Amino acid sequence: GIYRTEKNKGTLYELTFKGDAKHQFKKIVLFRPFGPVMKVKNENINMVDTLINVIVPLAKRASKFRQFMQNFREMGIQQDGRIHLTVVYFGKEQMDEVKSILENTSKSANFKNYTFIQLNEEFSRGKGLDVGARFWKGNNVVLFFCDVDIYFTAEFLNSCRLNTQPGKKVFYPVLFSQYNPSIIYGHHGSIPSLEQQLIIKKETGFWRDFGFGMTCQYRSDFINIGGFDLDIKGWGGEDVHLYRKYLHSNLMVIRTPVRGLFHLWHEKQCVDELTSEQYKMCMQSKAMNEASHGQLGMLVFKQEIETHLHRRKLSSKKT
């Protein structure tokens, strides 16, 4: 459930429960003014026909895409089943490998609901998402803007559906971002499997409170709001611009942490072609993603710690 306190009015609670049948849910909306609780709504919600179009902009990174498709196959195809995948690919390098991964998944999982779009231009995340959203020719659909280094669960996909409503609500989940496994698990001797790393603890990662890239909204709302600012090139900035447009619209923006959405750690490259502001944002993100403040401190002061331990060892021998 989620709750929201409205200034000078009270608190609104939205509680969602599983329904009697598969893909059905019951939602209870309560409003607590600065007084007794008032029931606002009690309704059954049927999500059996609610399709999600997952849009992934991509350039190269075939190995990461292979990992993404393993997650997509298990959670999106096998467990959920009401999903479409749109890949917007920039350039031609590694394109054949990416298409091969898509086709192999299609054959082995009997999955036909995918679209592959190729653009012969420099990578732009906003452009890729915008093209993918506008390419859809079917009925109104929930769009999930996703990156190749994201891991999601089937429960998250239902959260995506339940917290979006055309003309009324868009969903901006706060995801959990992994720290560098080499730093976190370096003293263990070996790095655990990906599934074992998906633990929400302050030592393993952080809630990305200021990340606005992964979002769910209906296509009609995205088109009506004007989509992305396509003048923004490369990495960073386009997601915040879209978020601000939604905040200034009549739509309700739902912003809350979710347990089923993870950003998997990867080495971040901040290229010289970025603007000064984008490069600064990229470097700040790079630092935040390595480890916690305390863990980074242990690395910075490693020599001092080792010197202290050495002195203690010598002192104990003398006594």
Q: Which comes out higher in pLDDT, residue 288 or 147?
A: 147
Q: Which comes out higher in pLDDT, residue 152 or 265?
A: 152
- What pLDDT score was predicted for residue 238? 82
- Of 14, 3, 230, 276, residue with least CA distance to 125: 230
Q: Is the pLDDT of residue 224 over 60?
A: yes
Ranges 129-133, 210-214, 293-297: which has the least confidence? 293-297
- What pLDDT score was predicted for residue 236? 59
- What pLDDT score was predicted for residue 114? 96
**What is the residue whose two structure tokens read 């459930």?**
1
- What pLDDT score was predicted for residue 189? 66
- Of 257, 244, 214, residue with least CA distance to 52: 214
Q: Which comes out higher in pLDDT, residue 319 or 151?
A: 151
What is the pLDDT averaged over residues 84-99?
Answer: 96
- What pLDDT score was predicted for residue 310? 75
- What pLDDT score was predicted for residue 284? 80
Q: What contacts 50, CB < 8 A, 6 or more positions away?
A: 82, 142, 161
What is the pLDDT averaged over residues 106-131?
Answer: 94
Identity of the residue numbered 26: K
Task: Give the pTM.
Answer: 0.82
Q: CA-to-CA distance for 219 and 217, rounded, in angstroms?
A: 6
Mean pLDDT computed over every residue of the chain = 89
What is the pLDDT averaged over residues 87-106?
Answer: 96
What is the pLDDT averaged over residues 131-158?
Answer: 96
Structure confidence by residue, pLDDT tens digits, 281-303: 888 877 777 777 667 666 677 77
234 confidence band (pLDDT: 50, 70, 90)? low
Q: Is the pLDDT of residue 55 over 70?
A: yes
Structure tokens at 33: 């003014």
- What pLDDT score was predicted for residue 190? 77
Region of residue 223 (phi > 0: left; psi between -120 and 50: alpha; otherwise: beta): alpha
Could you please report the per-residue DSSP string of 37-86? Answer: -EEEEEEEEE-TT--EEEEEEESS-HHHHHHHHHHIIIIIIIII--EEEE
- What pLDDT score was predicted for residue 6? 85
In the chain, the percentage of residues whose pLDDT exceeds 70 is 94
- What pLDDT score was predicted for residue 279? 85
Structure tokens at 281: 């944002």
Q: CA-to-CA distance for 118 and 89, rounded, in angstroms?
A: 5
- What pLDDT score was predicted for residue 194? 81
What is the pLDDT averaged over residues 177-203?
Answer: 81
CATH 3.90.550.10 residue spans of the chain: 52-263
Q: What contacts 242, CB < 8 A, 6 or more positions away?
A: 212, 215, 225, 227, 228, 229
Domain 52-263 CATH (choose: 3.40.50.720, 3.30.70.270, 3.90.550.10, 3.40.50.300): 3.90.550.10
Q: CA-to-CA distance for 155 and 260, rounded, in angstroms?
A: 7
Could you please report the per-residue DSSP string of the chain? Answer: -EEEEETTTEEEEEEEEE-SSTTEEEEEEEEEESSS-EEEEEEEEE-TT--EEEEEEESS-HHHHHHHHHHIIIIIIIII--EEEEEEEESSTTHHHHHHHHHHHHHHHT---EEEEEE-S--BHHHHHHHHHHH--SS--EEEE--TTEEE-HHHHHHHHHT-BTTTEEEEEEEEEE--HHHHSGGGSSPPPHHHH----TTTEEE-TT---SEEEEHHHHHHHT---TT--BSSSHHHHHHHHHHTSSSEEEEEEEEEEEEPP------TTS-HHHHHHHHHHHHHHH--HHHHHHHHTHHHHHHHHHHHHHHHHH-
